[in-house]
Structure 1
């Protein structure tokens, strides 16, 4: 059975446009495949910004951690274990001020751990999370894909590649605040892309 980790980051929850297109995809694969889907809403996790204290907890051997360090390390440990258990990671990502939501960045900060999800070698960093794929559902009010204003696509690609996930696909719904006709066409294009991704 395939395991999918679906990560949502819209402040609007299931009503967010990125959530809607990601859920359309998830519904399709649920109908077509034997899948187990784990859903995570990072906006509701309310993760703090990463601190030095939390990073030091990771670097302290488990046998040497006090209760505070155990609690801090467990935040990242639990997130990493969910990612490790997944065959596919699905991301629902709105664009906020030309970037990803800060809640998603805080979540990613708990995933990128030297010696756990990547390692440094004499030839540079090497990702340790292999044999996984990522599918990103990006919703934007304007039209940015392929332009210098789209910081999300290269960032997410680099991040996943860094931890060992090289199979990264994107589905865009853009121009959603540029009138009903443009929005409808954007959703239709996203639906066509979802059919393309799931027809096999």
Structure 2
């Protein structure tokens, strides 16, 4: 089994999503014999934003090939300004490619990556799952839309929210998310795993 681990937080050692995505990968290592892991730090080595001259280059093709080779995708995603980091959006721009990860047909869009499993670890500084801030949450909804577009319509989402609301709420959010990580890699594995 091939796992692709992506981190997109600019927070370095203090990042909640880096801590949690590493825990997810470790859980897979414990549960799946012989798993191979590729890692890409999109904050430390950001991909260039897509432009017409860069579209279809060898570098862009390598990013796409890395995704296509993966059976499992683990994404560490902090919510910045109500959405995903631009570094992660740029990665998606490299892998959402007609004829490779989706195609248009008579019935509309068909995702071509349906056999892949995705685990998304998402952190939010405030509480956006309910209450007055809920309409401003565009990270999880954006991720679900992009993954669903390519056929990954049931990503496992682990959320730690309220992490900027003080030490106690941060610790509680991390502990709850780590408890959810214990259930990763227990579900049926994707085809070909």
Fold shared by both chains (TM-score > 0.5): yes
- In structure 2, what is the Cα distance between the partners aligned to 1:185 and 1:170? 17
Q: Show the counterpart of 1:25.
A: 24
- Post-superposition Cα deviations, 1:118-158, rounded to whole Å, max 9, x if no partner, equal 11112211111231111000011111125212111111111
Give the structure 2 partner of residue 66 of structure 1.
none
1:4 maps to what in 2?
Answer: 3
Q: Structure 2: which 5+ residue stretches go unaligned?
A: 188-193
Q: Deviations over 1:30-78 (max 9, x none)?
A: 12222111111111223222112223xx3xxxxxxxxxxxxxx112211
Corresponding residue number in structure 2 for 1:39: 39
CA distance in 1, matches of 2:27, 2:47: 30
| TM-superposed deviation, 1:198 | 4.2
What residue number does 1:187 align with? 174
Structure 1 runs, 4 residues or longer, greater than 4 Å off: none
Q: Which has the higher contact order (CA 8 A, sep 6+)?
A: 2
Q: Deviations over 1:73-129 (max 9, x none)?
A: 112211111111111100000111111111111111011111121111122111112
**2:111 is aligned with 1:127:** yes
**Offset at residue 26 of structure 1 (A):** 1.3
The structure with more helix, counted as a fraction of residues: 1
Contact 1:75–1:110 at 8 Å: present in 2 too? Answer: no
| C-alpha distance 123-169 of structure 1, shift in aligned 2 (>3 A) | same
Cα RMSD, aligned residues only: 1.5
1:161 paired residue number: 148
Preserved CA contact (<8 Å) 2:10 2:43: yes
Q: What residue in structure 2 maps to residue 98 of structure 1?
A: 82
State the TM-score, normalizing by the size of structure 2: 0.89
- Answer yes or no: is the 8 Å Cα contact 1:133–1:166 preserved in 2: no
In terms of Rg, which structure is larger?
Answer: 1
- Distance of 1:175 and 1:107 partners within structure 2: 26
Count of matched residue pairs: 183
Alpha carbons 2:3, 2:36 under 8 Å: kept: yes
1:135 alignment partner, SS class: strand
1:53 equivalent in structure 2: 53
